[in-house]
A and B are shown apart, each in its own frame.
Chain A
Amino acid sequence: MNESESEWLVRAQKGDDVAFARLVELYQKPVYNLCYRMLGNPGDAEDAAQEAFLRAYKNLRRYDSDRPFATWLLSIASHYCIDQLRKQRFNAFSLDDDENTWLEPPDPGMGPEASLSAQEKQAQVQTLLDQLSPKDRAAVVMHYWYDYSYEEIAQELSLTVSAVKSRLHRCRRELAGQWQAVQAKTAERINPERMRNESPAF
């Protein structure tokens, strides 16, 4: 935490909105990025990031300055996103949402060796993450994009360290399987005839 940041924090805790806006400016990217990875689209990510800052603003008195502010902020954001995902899943079940769209490969004309545009990569990442449960997704996002240790993830998600390890292990297996499925589907789209001839009859 640099000098000006801790100063802004102290001022924000005394009710200075301008100082808090500085903190929003400073942390908008990591918070938004986490929400985007968790929720998978810009609209939901924007709403979640704004809500996370609002919750942080309202609970600023309870912030413990021994902990890095970024960690505290990201913790609020990830918990909010997990709640949102659970609500979405509940609604998807009750409304019988077409969950199959999540399995669609982002771009049918794309081979594994083709160089991917940034947008295609984003879509692929989200397709993969969409398959994970809210808590799994949070663990993967924290581990791979925010360099959280097993201990930190365990603390965030109220799990034991060994539970976090086995969870991430299972997630890697699931993600690899999901990747294979997407690749197979892509190949089938490119050349349905060949695939039909090659694959054994079921």
Chain B
Amino acid sequence: MNHQPFENWLFSEEPLPENDERTLRNHLADCEQCSSLEDAWLDVANLFETVPEVDPAPGFVNRWQITLEADRVAAKAARQRWQSWILLVLIANGAALALVLTGVQLFRTYGSFSEFVLSWVYRAATLVVIASGIQNVFVTLARTLPILVPTSWWVGIVITLSMSTLLWIVSMAKLTSLPRRTS
């Protein structure tokens, strides 16, 4: 048997014409499949009607204020990140421009590329020589100083050094934690 038309009537919210309603009731009286479906729907409808409303946990408005504040902080951080990126791009562009201009200027000064490279190699070699000289002085000092200087002096030097390092760290921390100006 085709139950489809009866199912359609069963789940329709529009009121049925009297004839159809009677046909449906007659069918439901005989057909267990359709009547059990009707019972099921009546159960569901009853459940929907009687289920209590669900309330949020107490303090919803307080949590709302926290949500709003958190959103503002996040938006501000995003804005600052964006501004830092713009700044970084500007600096990078400026640096690239400066580099190109310097290169052009150097090229003009030295005339040819090989001359330019040679002069820089010479400068680098000079730097290495100076550095090794300084290193020698330090090595010699490191070998002789411990014998010449008394222990109490060393203690003094170490304390002075660590105090000034500490002072430096503290002042750097203070400087960096100052509120950033964004505009």
Contacts and interface: CB of A to CB of B under 8 A. Distances in A.
Contacts of B18: none
Contacts of B11: 169, 172-173, 176
Interface residues of A, number: 38
Interface in B15-69: 36-38, 40-41, 43-44, 47-57, 60-61, 63-65, 67-68
Interface in B47-95: 47-57, 60-61, 63-65, 67-68, 71
B109 interface: no
Nearest to B62: A21
B68 A54 contact: yes
Nearest to B12: A169
A150 to B, nearest CB: 9
A162 to B, nearest CB: 12
Contacts of A122: 51-52, 54
A109 interface: no
Interface in A58-111: none
A174 to B, nearest CB: 10
B24 to A, nearest CB: 15
Contacts of A124: 47, 51
Q: Summarize A's interface: helix, strand, loop or mixed.
A: helix
Chain B interface residue number, banded: 20 to 34
Nearest to A30: B53
Contacts of B40: 176-177, 179-180, 183
Contact of A46 (B48, B53, B57): B57
A176 B54 contact: no
A54 B60 CA distance: 13
Nearest to A49: B56
Contacts of A29: 53, 55-56
Nearest to B7: A173
A124 B37 CA distance: 17
Interface in A129-185: 144-145, 165, 168-169, 172-173, 175-177, 179-180, 183
Nearest to B65: A21
A17 interface: yes
Contacts of B57: 42, 46
A179 B43 contact: yes
A25 B56 contact: no
A172 B48 CA distance: 12
B44 A179 contact: yes
Contacts of B71: 54
B79 to A, nearest CB: 15
Contact of A125 (B8, B48, B56, B64): B48
A28 interface: yes
Contact of A168 (B13, B52, B56): B13
Contacts of B65: 17, 21
Given A21-B61, A144-B48, A180-B37, 14 more contacts: A24-B61, A24-B64, A25-B60, A28-B60, A46-B63, A49-B56, A121-B51, A124-B47, A165-B13, A172-B11, A173-B11, A176-B38, A176-B40, A183-B40
Interface of B: 7-8, 11-13, 36-38, 40-41, 43-44, 47-57, 60-61, 63-65, 67-68, 71
17 contacts: A28-B64, A29-B55, A33-B54, A42-B54, A49-B56, A54-B71, A57-B68, A118-B51, A122-B52, A128-B44, A144-B49, A145-B53, A173-B11, A176-B38, A177-B37, A179-B41, A180-B36
